[in-house]
Structure 1
Amino acid sequence: MITMAEFFSGRPTEMITRDLLGKLMRYESPKGLVSGYIVEAEAYLGAADSAAHAYEGRRTKANDALYGAPGNIYIYTSRGYYAFDIAVQSKGEPQGILIRGVEPKEGLGIMMANRPKNGSELTNGPGKLMQAFGVSDLHWNNKMLDDSPFTVDLLDTREPSEILTSARIGVSKRGGQTNAPYRYYVAGNPYVSGMRKRDMNLETHGWVN
């Protein structure tokens, strides 16, 4: 069985981001288990990426978790919401992946109690999924996945029929990386943020299996 360390090891962040689609993200929350299949994620390539929090080597108390070992959790706030990022390169190389959307699997009742929304509005965005999961502080920031109640299950997976890319959403317009195609998502999945109704595949949600 492949480990998380092996999954991250020696591969470009863009490739890892793409391969996270369809993997199950679980959280053993204080209210019970919640989980969802990752349908949307964004790659951030560190010091050379003008849209990244670590652009030009910027390092602060707020983004220090990005500089951790592969599998280190980086939770931060944006526009009043919490977001979940995972450092994926060697320690000291601040590249990470933002989990932007999940299709719920377990704990739907818990998630709807945490965030009283129906359908895709429950978890189709980074702040929405964290609210649905019940994460409202930085307690697990700068902790390794293996030492936390969060898990990315590499065995419980779904296969996307098609993976699309686009520019990332809501990033800095400085530098030359604003429109870089580092956002990856499952084509047709209604839990992808900003997915138009006409582009949704309501029959298969964009999965092969």
Structure 2
Amino acid sequence: MTPANLRSGEPLPSALFAAPALLAAPLLLGQILIRQTGNGEIACRIVETESYGGAEDLGSHAAGGRRTARTEIMFHAGGVAYIYLIYGMHHCLNVVTGQADDPQAVLIRAVQPLSPEDAARMAAHRGRAPRRPAELSGGPGRLCRALRIDRSLGGCRLDRPGDGPLWLERGDDPKSLEIMQAPRINIPYAGEYAARPWRFYLRDNPYVSVLDPAAVRCPG
């Protein structure tokens, strides 16, 4: 079912952006991501996230407190976009959370268009009609192509609806959702942190990039 009635126009609570990434990641599920493009506005629902929190997380770009030109935005107070490029071709959108000088970010891994019109605009940006929902916007690179998100949007305020080209709005009450958790994707370099169940997604949602058969229900 397309959740076309979820658009509220209301900002997310400031406490969500101030929370550590591990707490914020499941709370961002069901919330609405809005992108203003030259082809019109696109609204979509967040259905999959990953937590990258604190200097101790070996999966994080800021592991060990690494502070570079790329990671500097992770050390900002929560509420801004951190966007980076991987493999020289795929952009990834992150929501910076937590307090200043404590690097916390939530990777947005998959989104679901709110309406057929949103889906059509996203498919046009991809340049092809997807054979299945996950091929449209399941995975960070796919969703960024579908929403025309690149590093030029880095630093956008996501906590101020309508103030810029990219923002978040209140959607579902997370308590109403069935959230699964599993290890994050493609971070073998993270050592003991690679197996931490810090990826969160909505159960049985067809836009999720990878459904893990060993995933467990997220408590609370």
Q: TM-score of the superposition, structure 1-length normalised? A: 0.85
Aligned position for 1:94: 103
- Which amino acid in the other structure matches residue 8 of structure 1? F
User: What do the CA deviations read for 1:153-188 (whole angstroms, capped 9, x no partner)?
Assistant: 11x337664211111001142432011110000110
SS at match of 1:51: coil
Residue 144 of structure 1 and its aligned partner are, at CA, apart by: 2.2
Distance, in Å, in 1 between the alignment partners of 2:22 and 2:92 is: 19
Equivalent residues of 1:37, 1:158 under 8 A apart: no
Q: What pairs with 1:116-135 in structure 2 (closer than 5 Å)?
A: 116-118=128-130, 119-120=132-133, 121-135=135-149
Residue 62 of structure 1 and its aligned partner are, at CA, apart by: 1.3
**Is 2:91 aligned against 1:82?**
yes
Q: Which runs of 5+ in 2 are unaligned?
A: 1-9, 214-220
- Which amino acid in the other structure matches residue 50 of structure 1? L
**Which residue among 56, 60, 63 is the counterpart of 1:48?**
56
Residue 15 of structure 1 and its aligned partner are, at CA, apart by: 1.9
Distance, in Å, in 2 between the alignment partners of 1:3 and 1:38 is: 13
Distance, in Å, in 2 between the alignment partners of 1:5 and 1:44 is: 19
User: What do the CA deviations read for 1:41-79 (whole angstroms, capped 9, x no partner)?
Assistant: 000012100000000011111121111121111000112
Number of residue pairs the alignment of both structures matches: 195
Aligned position for 2:77: 69
How well do the aligned residues superpose, as a CA RMSD in angstroms? 2.2
User: What do the CA deviations read for 1:74-103 (whole angstroms, capped 9, x no partner)?
Assistant: 000112200100110111111100000011
Distance, in Å, in 1 between the alignment partners of 2:173 and 2:139 is: 19
Q: Which runs of 5+ in 1 are unaligned?
A: 199-209
The percent of aligned pairs where both chains have the same amino acid is 30
SS at match of 1:16: helix
Aligned position for 1:203: none
SS at match of 2:42: strand
